[in-house]
């Protein structure tokens, strides 16, 4: 699903760049994190064995103003806020973020497999419908 990753793989011949929905792993991770978080569906069975090779957020882009890093940190802060009563440490919160991202990436992959294309408008519509309720859940649980 990631063009830059495919270009690095010697065994992949890229004939049509439009077959890759994301240019970087940062894009895929951020999209997966948002979708997984919105659906409030962390993929707990992924712990320690993720479908993608995720990295720590502090390694994203090198600048705190990186657009992917900002999006990831925003969702991470919402996760932190939602679980503040549990007093989790940073590693537990990051683990939950990874599980959300993995669930979201799997949802993207399934959707693309079913439809044969990346239906960005469907995901935007879903986000539009779920965002307010999900944000309310986070703020009320705090």
Whether residue 2 contacts residue 23, with contact meaning beta carbons closer than 8 Å, is answered with yes
Mind listing the pLDDT tens digit for each residue in 82-129? 988 888 888 888 889 989 998 999 999 899 889 888 888 999 999 999
Buried b (16+ CB within 10 A) or exposed e, 61-76: beeeeeebbebbbebb
Q: What are the sequence ranges of the domains in the chain? A: 3-141
Mind listing the pLDDT tens digit for each residue in 15-63? 777 777 888 788 888 999 999 999 998 888 766 665 555 555 555 555 5
Backbone dihedral region for residue 17 (phi beyond 0: left; psi -120 to 50: alpha; all else: beta):
alpha
Helices 67-82 and 90-115: crossing angle in degrees, nearest 10, is 120
What is the CB neighbour count within 10 angstroms for residue 13?
Answer: 7
pTM of the model: 0.80
Per-residue pLDDT band for 134 (boundaries 50, 70, 90) equals very high
């Amino acid at each position: 699903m990631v063009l830059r990753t495919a270009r690095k793989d010697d065994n992949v011949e890229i004939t049509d760049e439009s077959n890759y929905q994301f240019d970087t792993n940062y894009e895929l991770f951020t999209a997966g994190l948002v979708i997984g978080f919105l659906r409030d569906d962390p993929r707990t069975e992924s712990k320690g064995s993720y479908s993608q090779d995720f990295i720590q957020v502090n390694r994203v882009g090198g600048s705190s103003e990186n657009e992917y890093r900002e999006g990831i940190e925003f969702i991470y802060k919402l996760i932190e806020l939602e679980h503040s009563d549990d007093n989790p440490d940073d590693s537990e919160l990051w683990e939950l973020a990874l599980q959300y991202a993995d669930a979201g990436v799997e949802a993207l992959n399934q959707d693309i497999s079913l439809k044969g294309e990346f239906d960005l408008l469907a995901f935007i519509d879903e986000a539009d419908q779920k965002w307010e309720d999900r944000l309310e859940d986070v703020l009320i649980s705090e």
